Amino acid sequence: MAGVTTTGAGADPATSAARVLVQALAALGVEDVVLAPGSRSAPLAYALADAARADRPAGAPALRLHVRIDERSAAFVALGLVRASAVGIDGGPVPPRPVAVVTTSGTAAANLHPAVLEAHHSGLPLVVLTADRPHELRGTGANQTTVQVGLFGSAVRLGLDLPAPDGRPEEARDLRRTVARALAAATGARTGDPGPVHLNLAFREPLVPGPGPWPEPSAVGLTHVQPRPVLAVTPAAEPTAGGRRGGAPTVVVAGDEAGPLARRLAEANGWPLLAEPSSGARGGPNAIATYVHLLAHPVLGGSVRRAIVLGRPTLSRPVQRLLGRADVEVVVIGTRGVDWPDASRNASEVLLDAPARMRNGRMRAPEGWLEVWQAADKAAGGAVDGVLDGADEGRRSRSGTRVTGPALARAVAEVSAPDDVLVVGSSNPVRDLDLVARWSAPPVVVANRGLAGIDGTISTAVGVALGLPDRRVRALLGDLTFLHDVGGLLRGPLEQGAHLQLVVANDDGGSIFATLEPGEPERSDVFERVFATPHGADIAALCAGYGVRHTRVVDVDGLLPALAAPGPGLSVVEVRVDRNGRRALGERLASEVAAAVAHAIQD
């Protein structure tokens, strides 16, 4: 039958299957693949190397290949590439492209798990390809063999175990159909719920290609899956409570990846916008930078009676307390996925999209509602600046005033232009940025907030920079986050370099715990060892070992010059940050902001 026989003459089954799989990935929209080296995955490695060559052989598709030694780093580079693909030309979001990551068998596959979990909770189309022993060698004690089937549990949208190819008729067609099904699951074409997929690929020896040519490209088996349409909002989809009560004092809570719709709804209806940095909505006149503090004021947070939630809010306890209040109607707008954010279990309605009356500004807030938030935010912002500019008077190095974490975040925000991309690490950096970032036109902000871990942050930033080579990419992260993924600095001399500036807030430990219950003075006897975890690592020496440019900043005066001109390639700006006063600084910020807001509202 025409189109069935696709293997080249003399090609062994493993090589033929790997080549067909690579052709199918490219035909279905994959442009980037990240590979970690290994033996059992050799058929895929050879096929991908061919596809990445400028003089690639006939039949090989064009793909960009990125090679990393460490599998965990490879997976997060792939996640970064996925996130980069979701940035449109104008900076707005577009549907992300799937990116594949390839590993050999054994612990190599297990090292992908953190990135798979992040992709699961963030809804990112990560295609995991793990090589494995054929079925007859499983359970026999064969080297590097474990149970890889179901390794990622419920975190994948689809998990399939493919038997070792043997050259049977129609094998190529079946493989293409499997890849098409996997890509449809990864992109959420049928479900509207994108996320990672796992193909476990068994290969028998020989694992290296013989002299046979590539198969001719074929569409046989490449099932076209029509994407799930975006449901149009009808009058029946309008809120049954909130949509009928337009004048309620309302705020928009924009969590991670809320998107520009959150800002449009806030501005259309005169609602304050409480937007996290990675929401994609933080900007414009309605954005309230100091909302975390303002929620405590009775005239502001205390008067809220409705919250419109988009994205996934994860940063602050005051927001979660607001969303859990019995006197606040919570309306969640979730445009994708099967789950919705409602950690307080208080949502009254979950909508697929904003109803027409909300989009058209027919649910406007009471007169003066937005203005009082704006006035309070202006006063609070002035108080924050006053505290940060004078926080370390009397605490000076030989060069000048020491840097605090929020002051560093403010400087990074100030140098981040609208066309820039800012990757933000978890813990204090993203929270500091949340307090101080005041953008009329924000940069693109990327953060791994699916599980809010510190895993793979450097590698994610590298992937973002590789995927957006024409933009200035900067990352703000803490020292523990940096050390946790320091291997992400490693790039072989044969690999494409990324233009990326890593700004590391080095306070020699985990200062976020100083702001939480473990940091209370009466618990100080165990705090330093089991929470703060000082490390004493020499970041400059680590950078030198990886061949990465390093600059150390120890005072405020040296901060902006170091940030302003990142230069080409990969570089690290290490900023020495004082950790000892972190809790006291937070308390002083809260006190000064409360006083400034009380004065502004009274006036």
| Alpha helices for 204-352 (secondary structure H) | 260-269, 291-294, 317-323
Q: How far from 272 is each of 7, 265, 294, 377, 412, CA to CA, in Å? A: 61, 10, 11, 10, 24
Q: What is the pLDDT of residue 313?
A: 94
Q: What is the pLDDT of residue 245?
A: 54
Mean pLDDT of 151-169: 96
Task: To the nearest 10°, report the CA torsion of 196, 76, 51, 93.
Answer: 70
173, 247: one domain: no
Q: What is the pLDDT of residue 2?
A: 37
Q: What is the pLDDT of residue 511?
A: 80
Separation between Cα atoms, residue 133 and residue 137, nearest integer Å: 6
pTM attached to this predicted model: 0.92
Per-residue pLDDT of 536-555, as tens digits, reads 999 999 999 999 999 999 88
* Of 5 and 320, more confident: 320
* Of 282 and 2, more confident: 282
How many CB atoms sit inside 10 A of residue 254's CB?
30
**Three-class DSSP category at 120:** helix
Mean pLDDT of 6-15: 70
Q: How many domains does the chain have?
A: 3
Helices (H) and strands (E) in the chain, counts: 19, 17
249, 115: one domain: no
With the C-alpha atoms ordered 454, 458, 460, 465, is the resulting torsion angle positive or negative?
Answer: positive
DSSP 8-state code for residue 509? S
Mean pLDDT of 432-451: 95
Separation between Cα atoms, residue 503 and residue 508, nearest integer Å: 15
Residue 242 has pLDDT above 50, yes or no: no
Residue 219 has pLDDT above 80, yes or no: yes
Q: What is the pLDDT of residue 241?
A: 44
248, 342: one domain: yes
422, 283: one domain: no
Residue 237 has pLDDT above 50, yes or no: no
Q: What is the pLDDT of residue 5?
A: 38
121, 187: one domain: yes
**Three-class DSSP category at 477:** strand
Q: Band the pLDDT of 253: cuts 50, 70, 90.
A: very high
Residues 6+ apart with CB under 8 A from 565: none
* Of 52 and 340, more confident: 52
Separation between Cα atoms, residue 281 and residue 576, nearest integer Å: 31
With the C-alpha atoms ordered 516, 519, 523, 527, is the resulting torsion angle positive or negative?
Answer: positive
User: Does residue 223 lie within any of the structural domains?
Assistant: no
User: Does residue 185 lie within any of the structural domains?
Assistant: yes
Residue 399 has pLDDT above 60, yes or no: no
User: Does residue 120 lie within any of the structural domains?
Assistant: yes
How many CB atoms sit inside 10 A of residue 303's CB?
15
User: Does residue 222 lie within any of the structural domains?
Assistant: no
Percent above pLDDT 90 for the chain: 78
Per-residue pLDDT of 416-433, as tens digits, reads 999 999 999 999 999 999
429, 366: one domain: no
Residues 6+ apart with CB under 8 A from 191: 157, 185, 228, 338
Nearest to 47, CA basis, from 37, 36, 61, 34: 61
Q: What is the pLDDT of residue 10?
A: 57
User: Does residue 55 lie within any of the structural domains?
Assistant: yes
Separation between Cα atoms, residue 592 and residue 293, nearest integer Å: 10
Q: What is the pLDDT of residue 1?
A: 34
Task: Report the DSSP pairing between strands 473-478 and 500-506.
Answer: parallel
Please state the φ and ψ torsions of residue 436, each to the nearest 5 degrees: -115, -10
Residue with token string 């969303």:
323
Q: Band the pLDDT of 525: cuts 50, 70, 90.
A: confident
What is the average pLDDT value for the chain, to the nearest integer?
91
User: Does residue 4 lie within any of the structural domains?
Assistant: no
For 152-237, where are the E strands, in sequence order?
A: 158-162, 197-202
Q: What is the pLDDT of residue 356?
A: 94
Domain of 28, CATH number, reads 3.40.50.970
User: Does residue 227 lie within any of the structural domains?
Assistant: no
- Domain endpoint, select from 339, 373, 407: 373
- Domain endpoint, select from 373, 406, 430: 373
349, 407: one domain: no
* Of 267 and 399, more confident: 267
Q: How far from 34 is each of 178, 439, 459, CA to CA, in Å? A: 20, 34, 12
Separation between Cα atoms, residue 111 and residue 501, nearest integer Å: 26
Q: Which domain holds residue 418?
A: 396-577
151, 261: one domain: no
Q: What is the pLDDT of residue 268?
A: 96
Cβ(34)–Cβ(68) below 8 Å = yes
Mean pLDDT of 341-355: 91
Residues 6+ apart with CB under 8 A from 345: 324
Domain of 333, CATH number, reads 3.40.50.1220
Q: What is the pLDDT of residue 400?
A: 53
Mean pLDDT of 138-163: 92
Q: Band the pLDDT of 379: cuts 50, 70, 90.
A: very high
266, 347: one domain: yes
Mean pLDDT of 564-578: 91
Tokens, residue 248 = 């309620």
* Of 115 and 508, more confident: 115
Percent above pLDDT 70 for the chain: 93
Residue 337 has pLDDT above 60, yes or no: yes
Separation between Cα atoms, residue 81 and residue 54, nearest integer Å: 21
Q: Band the pLDDT of 246: cuts 50, 70, 90.
A: low
User: Does residue 65 lie within any of the structural domains?
Assistant: yes
Mean pLDDT of 36-46: 97
Residue 3 has pLDDT above 50, yes or no: no
